Amino acid sequence: MDNNSNMNKATITRNQAIEKLCASGEIYELNSTQINDRNVKVFKNAPKTLNELYFSNSSDLDFIVYQDERYTFSQILDLSTQLANTMTSELGIRKGDRVGISMRNYPEWSIAFIATTSIGAIAVSLNALWGPKDLKFAIDDCDPKLLFVDQERLTNLSNVINKENDMKVIRVRAEENKDLFSYCWKELFSRHPNFNALESNITADDDATIIYTSGTTGFPKGVVSTHRNIIHALMSWELEIEIRALRYELDKQELPFQEAMLLAVPLFHVSGSHVVLLASFRNQRKMVCMYKWDAEEGLRLIQKEKVTSFIAAPAITGDLVNAYDKSRHDISTLLILGGGGAHRAPEQVKEIDSLNEIIMPQIGWGMTETNAIGTSAIGDAYADRPSSCGECSAVLQMRIVSESGAEMPNGEIGELQVKGTSMFRGYWNKLDEKLDCFDGDWFKTGDVAKINPDGFIYIMDRIKDLIIRGGENVSCSSVEYALMEHPEIVEACVYSIPDVRLGELVAATIYTKSKLTEHTIKSFLKGKLANFEIPEAIKISSVPLQRGASGKITKRLVQKAALTPL
């Protein structure tokens, strides 16, 4: 971990650092190649498969901590091998079979994921907070041969699965359900106590995962990624640390304790499975798991387990900052407080940056389709540009495109498009289709953005989140930023409400702990926003706004609540 106490100006440019660190003979040597008729950059020294990633990084260091349970890397790998052998010998799982995982952040989630991807089967991450309708759709869509579930998911499953379905089910920390046969996790392990080494015929471009998107419009889509896609995202995060150290001439310091990351986001999202779980192997980093997010418990765990980094949605990191103000917990081991998945208010960036001289704010932008990598910024580079999401990863390319499809120059606003090695292979059951979300090799992100001349990228809004008020485009995120500048506003969500004359009006729901009025808020926004951007209707809440599983505010639920008559 590098030292941030004396941050100097960069001595070389980002491109110069990448050129040096990725040159021939270096650890992060990058070569150009063609995969599936696409020109991409690949790390010469990257593990070829997730199997290689796992088993080349075994040790007796702590790996997973959950409540009073503690497992080392070697213990988790032994258990994963044992499970993998059971899956192949007793349950008939083979390379290419889909294996679903639907449960909370128990250690068994990670073991099941590692076992599945180690034998060339495809790990299917299912949202543990789905209702029966979406759960049934995903199971019908990917047709898993095996599914791991905990108690709540087993109950949901028994209500949607046809008894003639031949999918096998393994229950974790759950009682037997009379309506659906399932294998007991503990009993399976007791019948197969072997740790035989796994034989693997996996290649880098075999499919490794299907991760279903949130499905806020229509049914969710299964994002398919290969071993190479995922590993190049992991290597890109490592490279970012090296780039920063080289540019700012930072000395790396050995910590007197093991690095640790607090896991408060679900493992069924890439922010959990990739940024936390998979990225821990090469760094030999401890993963401290929470069943669900609680700020006070998070602070306690940071102190107890000497957590060095915590990355979550801005709403969650905001909870932590607010709770810390009233807490006596020691978080002096925390070096990075990162975020992603949504805009973080500039005020929160300042609060993180000023917590102490050690903690660095961090931000990143990525999607399930990019395997969570995309852009990143940390420390002063982020604090000086709090509305930016950082600079583009070395294995990706980004551009801004107008509505007509023309590439826009730096500083102009349009749709962000991305291509590169970490990009997903396609959507399950649509792998051979020409998808509208691609422009040649370029993936249309649906984000309105701009790339400044200095290379920093600014996400302005989602295309579908633009409000068109009487012909004037209003950016929801721009209005949210302005609202969040008010010191008494904790959270803000901006959305449209229908209007006969203008088509749409701007509306907002804010969470505040003080007695703000709609009039005082509108007065505060005068001069910060154009008159047509100031919300016509403002709903004031004394409780936090509705959030999804990842901790992001769920706009459609907030909007629905605002439009529902009392």
Quote the pLDDT of residue 8.
Answer: 57
The pLDDT of residue 566 = 59
How far apart are alpha carbons 207 and 188 in whole angstroms?
27
User: For the chain, how are helix, strand and coil distributed in percent, rounded to 5?
Assistant: 30, 30, 40
Provide the pLDDT for residue 172. 98
pLDDT tens digits along 178-231: 889 999 999 999 887 777 777 779 999 999 999 998 644 457 889 999 999 999
Cα angle at 463 between 229 and 502, to 5 degrees? 165
3-state secondary structure string, 168-234?
Answer: EEEECCCCCECCECCEEHHHHHHHCCCCCCCCCCCCCCCEEEEEECCCCCCCCCEEEEEHHHHHHHH
Using an 8 Å Cβ cutoff, are 511 and 491 in contact? yes
For residue 464, what are the contacts with CB-CB under 8 A and spacing of at least 6?
217, 446
Do residues 1 and 335 touch, judged by C-beta distance below 8 A?
yes
Please state, in angstroms and as integers, the Cα–Cα distance from residue 278 to each residue in 150, 232, 486, following that order. 22, 12, 38
Exposed/middle/buried for 155, CB within 10 Å: 0-12, 13-18, 19+?
middle
Spatial CA neighbour of 537 closest among 462, 469, 485, 465: 469
Q: Return the pLDDT at 193.
A: 77
Q: Bigger pLDDT: 318 or 175?
A: 175
Mean pLDDT of 331-339: 93
The tokens describing 547, both together, are: 């959030």
Measured at the CA of 493, the angle between CA 487 and CA 497, to 5 degrees, comes to 130
What would the pLDDT profile of 503-536 be if each residue is shown by its tens digit?
Answer: 789 999 999 989 899 999 999 999 888 788 899 9
CA distance 40 to 524: 49
Q: Check pLDDT > 60 for residue 6.
A: no
- Set out the domains of the chain in order of their start, with CATH numbers: 14-32+226-462 (3.40.50.12780), 50-61+73-202 (3.40.50.980), 470-563 (3.30.300.30)
Which residues make beta-bridge pairs with 99? 123, 146
The band of 354, judged by pLDDT with boundaries at 50, 70 and 90, is confident
pLDDT tens, 157-167? Answer: 988 887 667 89
Mean pLDDT computed over every residue of the chain? 90
Span 356-370, mean pLDDT? 90
Q: What is the pLDDT of residue 216?
A: 40
- CA angle, residues 457, 461, 464, in degrees to nearest 5: 140
pLDDT value for 556:
87
Q: What is the C-alpha separation between 116 and 131, in angstroms, rounded?
A: 25
Characterize 340-362 residue by residue with b for buried, 16 or more Cβ atoms within 10 angstroms of its Cβ, and e for exposed: bbbbbbebbbebbbebeeebbbb
| Sheet of strand 374-378: strand arrangement | 69-72, 62-66, 286-289, 260-263, 309-312, 336-340, 360-366, 374-378, 391-392
Q: Phi then psi for 225, rounded to 5 degrees? A: -130, 150
60-63: list long-range contacts, CB under 8 Å, 24+ apart. 61/258, 61/284, 61/286, 62/258, 62/260, 62/286, 63/280, 63/286, 63/287
Average pLDDT over residues 444-473: 86
pLDDT in tens, 298-316: 999 999 999 999 999 887 8
Residue 4 has a pLDDT of 47
Percent of the chain with pLDDT over 70: 96
pLDDT digits (tens, 9 = 90+) for 55-86: 999 999 999 999 999 999 999 999 999 999 99
Q: How many CA atoms lie within 13 A of 55 on its CB side?
A: 20
Give tens-digit pLDDT for 389-405. Answer: 999 999 999 999 998 99
Element (H, E) at 401: strand 396-401
How many Å apart are CA 279 and CA 301, to the nearest integer? 20
For residue 217, the model assigns a pLDDT of: 43
Q: Would you say 416 and 445 are in contact if contact means Cβ atoms under 8 Å apart?
A: yes
| pLDDT single digits (tens) 121-146 | 999 999 888 877 788 889 999 999 99
Residues in the chain: 566
For the record, the structure tokens of 107 come out as 């250690």
**How far, in Å, CA of 125 to CA of 138, rounded?**
10
Could you give the CA distance from residue 312 to residue 363 in angstroms, rounded to a whole number? Answer: 10
Res. 7: pLDDT tops 60: no
Question: What mean pLDDT comes out for the span 285-298?
Answer: 95
What pLDDT was estimated at residue 471?
62
